[in-house]
Amino acid sequence: MRVAPLALGCTAAVAAAAARRVARFRPLHTPVPPADAAGLDADAAAARLAELIRIPTVSSRDPGQVDAAAFRRFRERLAELYPHTHRVLEREVLGDGALLYRWRSGTDRPPLVLMAHHDVVPVTGQAWTRDPFSGAVEDGVVHGRGAVDDKGSLVAVLEAVESLAATGHVPARDLYVFSGNDEEVLGVGAELAVQALRDRGIRPWAVVDEGGAVVTGVFPGVPGQIAVVGLAEKGLLDVELVTTDPGGHASSPTPDGAPARLARAIVRLDAAPFPARLHDVVLRMVDAAGRHASGAYRALFAHAPVLRPVLATALARASREANALVRTTVAVTELEGSGARNVLATRARAHLNVRIALGETVQSTVARLRWVVADPSVEVTVLSGTDPSPVSRTDTEAYAALQAAVRAVYPEAAVAPYLMVQASDARHFAQISDSVYRFMPFDLSRGELDALHAADERISVAALHRGAVFFRHLIRSL
């Protein structure tokens, strides 16, 4: 019998090939000189951010709930806090208060766009341990709504620009700084900026907006820092489920009434999640971050391309955040039934907030929702929807410059592509640039990440300072 030796030989060959693959699966880490932080004052930057936090630029879908005076005061104070920026750069106010700055280079090279919105989400119903608009700076931390999302990013950009403008620096290509006033409510500020650039025939070299950050302990088997750079973002879909009944007195309930049918539809959606798939962007994240893993994790990630279904399932079970990376998610955010305790509901309604995975569309997602609900008496109505964004390129000079800037500030961090599961203003800029990157250059703890859109939002003075160093290094490298 020759089968056994042949099988053993094949097994040995496969094992040897696997070992070679793991051996080659090493960090692709090119050292770069450290960034120059001279001339940037960390404490002064924190004080300026604190001032801007104290101006409550809370956005709302209801224009009547927006404090226009606060937004006007914010624009005025911004000019006072950054005089060299406002002396050297041209400023336009778009729509109801979006800001577009241009720093001319004297060249016709495609420009860099740095973005950060200045509107913030409400604090109503949240249990803050201090005044959310106090801008308190205590024990090396700046506290308040917008500290990270996204006034912190705006301050980091402007600290970099201000320090360079004060010295007479001229960028090697035009620099645009855009700050939206309605990002949190999916407003039109960014669309106006994109239209203005398109009308002028401008196609950006690169765009950098909020998104990923420098994080630790979030990727299995990787103990060190990972700088996750968003190449794309999921689509966004808002859907209503509505079913109706004649109503009546609650003493004589109708079997299988509107609330029961709505509840059954919700349970069906919860029991039949969208399939988990490992998109190329997530696979590239696994490849880049996995090279910094150790032991069995490194061996697993080295074989990610041939283990896609297994890894997709594993990520879906790992955490809420990891699950959102590999599938379309459906969240029930609003429920509505009867308006009185003793009256049967004539209308039962649920709002679904759906984040569409790459490779799917609004049309395919709605079709699956209807198929899972499987009840013609439950109406599925699309309120608004956008498909996932295009995937930005990583084989460009712009991405290389971004990577180099990260490594100049965070020399030990792995740089990994990332899929942003939230929506941002950056998606609009994908219409005019194929290099749109979603990255906040701050090293954030798990607690700081969890505080985004929640109580006790904060950022360390040191992280804010490193963000300013990052942006200045990036601008100098143009």
Domain range holding 136? 42-221+391-476
| Mean per-residue pLDDT of the chain | 93
Q: Is 49 exposed, middle or buried (0-12, 13-18, 19+ CB in 10 A)?
A: buried
397 and 358 in one domain? no
Neighbours of 318 (CB within 10 A): 15
Which pair of structure tokens corresponds to residue 18?
Answer: 């696997």
Using a 10 angstrom Cβ sphere, with 0-12 exposed, 13-18 middle and 19 or more buried, the burial of residue 142 is buried
Q: What is the pLDDT of residues 288-335, one digit of tens each?
A: 998 998 888 888 899 999 999 999 998 899 888 889 999 999 999 999
Q: Above 90 in pLDDT, residue 32?
A: no
- Asked whether the predicted pLDDT for residue 14 surpasses 60, the reply is no
Token pair for 62: 């209801």
**Model pLDDT, residue 300:** 87
Query: Given the structure tokens 């990440």, which residue do they identify?
Result: 449
Q: Are residues 257 and 166 in the same domain?
A: no
CA pair distance 54, 33, nearest whole angstrom: 37
Per the omega criterion (within 30 degrees of 0), is the bond before 43 cis? no
Note the pLDDT tens digit of each residue in 350-406: 999 999 999 999 999 999 999 999 999 999 999 999 999 999 999 999 999 999 999
Q: Give the end of a domain, one of 330, 362, 386.
A: 386
68 lies in the same domain as 214: yes
> What's the pLDDT score for residue 15?
54
- The verdict on 279 and 204 lying in the same domain is no
Same domain as 402, residue 277: no
Is 80 exceeded by the pLDDT of residue 46? yes
Contact by Cβ (8 Å): 415, 288 = yes
| Co-location of 400 and 359 in the same domain | no
Cβ atoms of 325 and 315 closer than 8 Å: yes
Supply the pLDDT for residue 5: 56
Largest Cα span, the chain: 89
pTM of this structure: 0.92
**Domain-located, residue 117:** yes
Q: What is the pLDDT of residue 1?
A: 43
Q: Using an 8 Å Cβ cutoff, are 286 and 292 in contact?
A: no
CATH number of the domain that residue 255 is part of: 3.30.70.360
Examine the domain organization and report whether 303 and 349 are in the same domain.
yes
Query: What is the reported pLDDT for 4?
Result: 58
Inside any domain, residue 336:
yes
CA 429, CA 389: separation in Å to the nearest integer? 10
Regarding whether 280 and 361 lie in a shared domain, the answer is yes
User: 243 and 213, same structural domain?
Assistant: no
Total domains, the chain = 2
Specify whether the CB–CB gap between 28 and 310 falls below 8 A.
no
Instruction: Give ∠ CA 468-474-478 in degrees, rounded to 5.
Output: 145
